[in-house]
Amino acid sequence: MKDAKDVVVGLLDLAGIKINGSRPYDIQVHDERLYKRVLHETALGLGESYMDGWWDCDRIDEMINRLMLADLESKVTGDWKIALHLLQSKILNLQTKTKSWEVGRQHYDIGNNLYEKMLDKRMNYTSAYYRNADNLDDAQEAKLDLICRKLNLEPGMTVLELGCGFGSFAGYAAEKYGVEVTGYTVSKNQYEYAKERYKDLPVKFYLDDYRAATGKYDRVISIGMMEHVGYKNYRNYMKFALEHLNEDGYAFIHTIGRNDSATTANAWLTKYIFPNGVLPSIAQLGEAMENIFVMEDWHNFGEDYDKTLLAWYHKFNEAWPELKDEYGERFRRMWNYYLLSSAGGFRSRQTQLWHIVLTPVGRTQPDCRKI
């Protein structure tokens, strides 16, 4: 019977990865306990063992890309902790109004100093759009403008933004397109930042769950928030968006998506980065919008998120000397693993980035721009 090391070596060989090899995507093992840990805990064990310094790799992004293309995760079942994680996601609603605050506290409130060093000048914490841009700042402005044009924004319109982040869209749309934006966030740090930065523009921000929003708007949008909605809530999200739209309004979703329908993300990501998070599939969103919205446009540009994550990675590491005393070495490894493994997911096309423009069922043909 093969021991754990032999099994892992065989699996990695399917992905073209060698233990202690010389290529940048090969894994350098520092602790032999790694093999059993990975077989028992799969994605959780791989990520935690990296945080613990048990292995290194010069190009984690490319390593993850190769692992995903080889579909190795389906060949390792893991232990009871992984099964329990999946079972809880199927039985419980992990994205209730109470639980929605957890990601704000654990992820978005870890310090604006970190995000200011890592993100672009407008503090966008979602993918940029690189079609006609060659740097992060320009690509993020291009993304914001792309959204505004897809929404056919005109001066005086009102926009409800569910999950407003640091206020980058609200500020840009108000400044460049003359609209009024109302945004909701569950992050205290984001709320305080956005409220102060855009105090002179026609924008309002609320520190509250998106389901607390009231009123009617010309547009209802979310940018990078559907990942926190949860599969048990997709249908109610669509009903909520429709309820808050004016008669001739549009809805818009910018979200990361996955190729298959799931009820949770991998156990490492939900434990350390995005608690209770899960990526939607086309099937899940399609079922949720059935007889509520007409899908007018569905745009996929996941390769741009790969570039964005690498830009964040480089900026984060350039700024690390200024951040290390506040966060520590284990955080640095955790954060780098998060950014690079996410980039590998987009490169392998296991994860996608979608822009979806929606109009209510029963409307005549709207003037939606397909860009």
In the three-class reduction of DSSP (H, G, I as helix; E, B as strand; rest coil), residue 38 is classed as helix
What's residue 129's pLDDT? 98
Edge to edge, the sheet with strand 245-258 lists: 203-207, 180-185, 158-162, 217-223, 245-258, 351-360, 293-300
Report the pLDDT averaged over residues 211-235: 95
Instruction: Give the pLDDT mean for 194-199.
Output: 98
Average pLDDT over residues 108-131: 97
d(CA 149, CA 154): 10
Q: Residue 260: how many CB atoms within 10 A of its CB?
A: 10
Q: Parallel, antiparallel, or unpaired for β 203-207 and 180-185?
A: parallel
CA dist list (Å): 285 to 95, 227, 269, 278, 301:
16, 12, 22, 13, 18
Length of the chain counted residue by residue: 371
Higher-scoring residue by pLDDT: 40, 263: 40
Closest CA to 148 of 250, 241, 296, 217: 250
Confidence of residue 92 (pLDDT cuts 50, 70, 90): very low
Spacing of C-alpha 369 from chain mean position? 25
Q: Tell me what the mean pLDDT of segment 172-185 comes to.
A: 98
Pairing status of strand 293-300 against strand 245-258: unpaired
Task: Please provide the average confidence, as pLDDT, over all residues in the chain.
Answer: 91
* Token output for 337: 């693993």
**Tokens (6 digits) for 336:** 């780098």
Residues 358 and 154: their CA atoms lie apart, in Å, by: 18
Predicted pLDDT of residue 106:
84
pLDDT of 257? 97
Torsion, CA 263, CA 266, CA 271, CA 276, rounded to 10: -20
Question: Which one is the CATH code of 93-360: 3.40.50.150, 3.90.1010.10, 3.40.50.720, 3.40.1280.10?
Answer: 3.40.50.150
* Residue 236 confidence (pLDDT) above 50: yes
Residue 166 has pLDDT above 80, yes or no: yes
Please state the rounded mean pLDDT for residues 363-367: 70
Tokens 């902790």 correspond to: 81
pLDDT given at position 366:
67
Q: Provide the percentage of residues in the chain whose pLDDT is more than 70.
A: 90
3-state secondary structure at position 21: coil
Instruction: Please say if the pLDDT value at position 219 is more than 70.
Output: yes
Q: What is the pLDDT of residue 179?
A: 98
- Measured CA to CA, the distance from residue 120 to residue 314 in angstroms comes to 12
pTM listed for this prediction: 0.93
Going from the C-alpha of 128 to that of each of 132, 206, 241, 308, the distances in angstroms are 11, 25, 24, 6
For residues 43 and 304, which has the higher predicted lDDT (pLDDT)? 304
pLDDT tens for 20-70 read: 999 999 999 999 999 999 988 888 999 999 999 999 999 999 999 999 999
pLDDT value, residue 67? 92
Asked whether the predicted pLDDT for residue 78 surpasses 80, the reply is no
227-237 average pLDDT score: 93
Q: Report the helix count and the strand count for the chain, using DSSP H and E.
A: 15, 9
The yes-or-no verdict on residue 328 having pLDDT over 80 is yes
Instruction: Show me where the domains of the chain are located.
Output: 4-78, 93-360
Please compute the mean of the pLDDT values over residues 306-310 and round it to a whole number. Answer: 98
Helix H or strand E encompassing 300: strand 293-300
Arithmetic mean of pLDDT, 122-138: 97
pLDDT at 103 over 80: no
Tell me how many degrees the CA angle 348-352-357 measures, rounded to the nearest 5. 165
